[in-house]
Amino acid sequence: MKPIRLISGFLTVGVWTLLSRILGFVREIMILAFIGPGPVMDAFVAAFRLPNMFRRFFAEGAFNAAFVPMFSKRYEAGEDPQGFANQAFNGLAFIVLTLTALAMIFMPAFVWATAEGYTADGRFDLTVGYGRIVFPYIVFMSLSALFSGVLNATGRFAAAAAAPVLLNIFVIIAMASAALLDQSIITWLVWTVPIAGIAQLTLVWVAASRAGVSIRPGRPRWSPEMKHLVVVAIPAALSSGVMQINLLVGQQVASRTESAVSWLFAADRLYQLPLGVVGIAVGIVLLPDLSRRLRDGDHEGSRHGLSRAAEISLALTIPSAVALMVIPLPLVSVLFERGQQTADDSAAIALATAIYGFGLPAFVMQKVLQPLYFAREDTRTPFRFALWAMLINAVLAVGLYILLDSLGWIAPAIATTIAGWAMVWMLARGARPMGEVARFDARFHKRIWRIIAASIVMGAVLAGVNLLLGPIIMEPGWRYLALLILVGSGMVSYFLIGRLLGAFNMYELRQSLRRRG
């Protein structure tokens, strides 16, 4: 994959991920408006987080890090990639089906382990009931991740990136239908989750078949290839899922304060927009590209691809982080404050959003640096780093909860952000022995400071415009236009200052947008 094709793949994934995140925003706006922060939403968030956590472990973590490099090498060399994919599919299906059966039986224990504070009120029983409905989603999503890995390894990114859009579409339609028919919105919401999972799996399964990789269910078989896959996948699962574990630790702490789980969830959704569009897109595209280049001994191309991925990521992420820290309350109040959500809820969510915003560049850089290890089938080193990051997160979350007293519910956001930066530092330091391949080139070092400077100026512009629009942005009839002006002023100022400082080049961007082999 040439550098232009690499960026083209990144843009393909990024556009679909952006659409998914926008629809996800609509989904969260509807949940907050129809249900609102409180016991029912707390229960749904905790229940839905269970399959999502295991999905990151068994699907996105293990298979992006372990399966994709191994499949890519076999696909490029013509060493029976379909047979390998079939074995991986059958093994993964056996594992997730077994896990789902255990979860159905021991759901109360799962909820207690992840939200022990719920046992003091009715949220516990609600979460157990919702959990048993939504947990089968992991089966469909884990298998979807395998097919997505196949598609990404063959350079077909669109279908895999489009699949997550279906969940948001299904949920939005379900909640709107329930509201129109005067039905229980939460009931329609939880039952729609596994149905959407089936649709997502169907989409990528058909796309993989059309790409020439026809996978059929069968009996799982233990082979040397599967043994190697498992050895690589186990540490990869934890290292890639560290953020989910940190979120669960935070949920355990926040569960002791009513509505805190809902507040943190809403803030998490807000910063996940740039993280999903930039970080996940770069990670998905960069991993198979690095695997191919390292196999071919193209160290200069590997360094160039890594540097461009980091440059593009930070050029989009740093201004997003500044915006989340400077104007969190206008963003939250305009996007989320309606229906059951109050001004107090918005203030709490805005505080968490600002803290998560400071960690946003770290969360994205993890996605850029981890492929350096995964492309070499080295998952043990990131595994060790993940253990340290989880320890830092747990100690800070619990410690700050005790020390901060009345603001203890915000401790998880602070801990997650600090642990994210610690993880980046360890990944960067650990990559030094890899040599020049793991070092950013001169162009990156020249432009990163200009990107930071342009972002700081943009932050000052946002703060000034926010002061001018302050009274208007809270008016129901004007707040959407006021937010549009506020965000637009930030985008224009960042673009103009960035161009003046040479932070990015429009000619290079136009070249990157062209799909060339």
**8 Å CB contact between 350 and 326:** no
Burial tier of 299 (Cβ tally within 10 Å: 0-12, 13-18, 19+): middle
CA gap 338, 377 in Å, rounded:
48
Residue environment code for 395-431, b if the CB has 16+ CB neighbours within 10 A, otherwise e: ebbbebbeeeeeebbbbbbbbbbbbbbbbbebbeebb
Both structure tokens of 359: 């960690």
> With DSSP H G I counted as helix, E B as strand and the rest as coil, what are the percentages for the chain, rounded to 5?
85, 0, 15
Neighbours of 502 (CB within 10 A): 12
Same domain, 402 and 460: no
CA gap 322, 456 in Å, rounded:
7
Residue 502, classed as helix, strand or coil, is coil
Q: Is residue 29 part of a domain?
A: yes
CA gap 54, 244 in Å, rounded:
9
Q: Is residue 445 part of a domain?
A: no
Both structure tokens of 94: 């056996």
pLDDT of residue 277: 63
Same domain, 498 and 409: no
Full domain range(s) for residue 181: 3-440
Q: Quick one: which of 99, 67, 473 has its CA closest to 233?
A: 67
Same domain, 425 and 465: no
pLDDT tens per residue, range 306-320:
787 788 888 888 999
For 187-199, what is the HEC assignment?
Answer: HHHHHHHHHHHHH
Same domain, 319 and 176: yes
Same domain, 418 and 486: no
- Look at phi and psi of residue 505 and say left if phi exceeds 0, alpha if psi is from -120 to 50, else beta: beta
Same domain, 421 and 484: no
Same domain, 489 and 435: no
What is the distance, to the nearest Å, from the Cα of residue 356 to the centroid of all Cα atoms in its chain? 13
Q: Is residue 220 part of a domain?
A: yes
Q: Is residue 297 part of a domain?
A: yes
What is the distance, to the nearest Å, from the Cα of residue 282 to the centroid of all Cα atoms in its chain? 12
Q: Quick one: which of 71, 89, 57 has its CA closest to 221?
A: 89
Same domain, 435 and 454: no
Among 396, 413, 440, the domain boundary falls at: 440
Same domain, 400 and 490: no
Among 407, 440, 473, the domain boundary falls at: 440
pLDDT tens per residue, range 202-239:
888 888 888 777 777 777 777 777 777 767 666 666 66
Q: Is residue 494 part of a domain?
A: yes
pLDDT of residue 63: 60
Q: Is residue 373 part of a domain?
A: yes
pLDDT of residue 442: 84
Give the number of domains in the chain.
Answer: 2
**8 Å CB contact between 149 and 161:** no
Q: What is the pTM of this model?
A: 0.70
For the chain, list residues with pLDDT below 70. Answer: 1-15, 56-66, 69, 77, 79, 155, 157-158, 230, 232-244, 276-298, 339, 405-407, 505-517
Same domain, 302 and 415: yes
Same domain, 210 and 234: yes
CA gap 142, 133 in Å, rounded:
17
Q: What sign has the CA pseudo-torsion 266, 13, 376, 85?
A: positive
For 41-97, what is the HEC assignment?
Answer: HHHHHHHHHHHHHHHHHHHHHHHHHHHHHHHHHHHHHCCCHHHHHHHHHHHHHHHHH
Both structure tokens of 188: 């329609």
Helix (H) or strand (E) holding 36: none
Same domain, 391 and 457: no
Q: Is residue 200 part of a domain?
A: yes
Among 440, 473, 492, the domain boundary falls at: 440
